[in-house]
Amino acid sequence: MAPSQQPTVLTLKQTFLTTQTRLLSQPLTPTRDWHNTNTANTNNTNHPPEETNEDPATTAPLPPKAIDDALYKLNHRLQQHARRAYAPQATRHVAEQIEQLYLNAAEAAAAADEEDDEEEEVGVEGVEVGVGDDDDDDGRAPVQRDAALRVGADLADPGVIATLPLEWEGADAASRPLEARRYAELAGELHALAKRQRQAAARVARLRWMRALLQPFAASNPDGDGGGDGDGGRLDGVQENLVTRNGEVEAELHRMRMLLARVGGRVGQLKEQGPPARELSVGSLFSDGGEGMEGVEMDEQRKVGSLLERF
């Protein structure tokens, strides 16, 4: 079972803001002490004013209907204010600003540490430049790796992903096996996604190249209405017989190829024959059934098949 995904700063702050705004949007209700005080004032109205020594205007209880009406109007205005001031878009915007402040502070702290220790420490393990590093004598590879693992690094950049190690290196890997295994899983998944992204980019480039090749066959009308006849898919920029499979032009070109092959073969034979045989062969130049043309047809089909395999 894969471990749960760790929440981000944006998720935590947005959840906190949503919880607080929900508390501020709750309807207001009088407390129990206030109800008890109002009920006590109701009981005091049964005694004469001279017995209580209080002003009747200040001790008069509030009727329940007046309380309900006032609370309804107050809660209605409170809900309107919550919809305007605590909209989900505004809450996410504030959470994004808080996240950006965290990232800016982390980047500033990391930059300050790099400036202080650029001549002493490289990488995430604090290895000195040129000491104990068999991969790179000048210590530049650990600097690149540290840049990839730094807080706020763009892990969508293929160049940054390529610098990520597939395993958690350092002394912390042994003391934190769960985190090290989780890092290995995430790093492998990230490298796989980067590979899929490169494959998708190559496929997009190939499709764009094919679209550029087919651009001459695009419809001349931008709306694609086919000149107003309602078919919407007819290519007005190209003749129909040029874009139709097995059309008239294709059949005519096939017959022409066969004719040219036959003429070429006969002409070659006439050069080797004498004048009498040459006159006899000229009459039968176009009279045979096209023997020996199978090889030419197979060659043409092979060329067409290789062209179609490219797409």
What is the distance, to the nearest Å, from the Cα of residue 101 to the centroid of all Cα atoms in its chain?
Answer: 25
Structure tokens at 272: 């080797």
| Mean pLDDT confidence for 161-187 | 80
| Mean pLDDT confidence for 23-45 | 80
| Mean pLDDT confidence for 255-279 | 74
Q: Which of 306 and 273 is assigned the larger pLDDT?
A: 306
Predicted pLDDT of residue 150: 63
Structure tokens at 303: 């060329």
Structure tokens at 168: 């958690």
Task: Render pLDDT for 124-138 as a digit per residue (tens, 0 to 9).
Answer: 444 443 334 444 444
| Mean pLDDT confidence for 161-183 | 79
**Partners of 122 in beta bridges:** 127
- Residue 45 above 60 pLDDT? no
Domain boundaries, the chain: 7-32+61-110, 153-217
Q: Which of 80 and 121 is assigned the larger pLDDT?
A: 80
Positive/negative CA dihedral, 124, 129, 131, 133 = positive
Predicted pLDDT of residue 10: 87
- Residue 301 above 60 pLDDT? yes
Q: How many other CB atoms sit within 10 Å of the CB of residue 13?
A: 20
Task: Render pLDDT for 274-300 as a digit per residue (tens, 0 to 9).
Answer: 666 555 555 555 455 545 455 566 777
The answer to whether residues 147 and 114 touch, using CB atoms and an 8 Å cutoff, is: no
Nearest to 161 by CA among 209, 111, 197, 110: 197
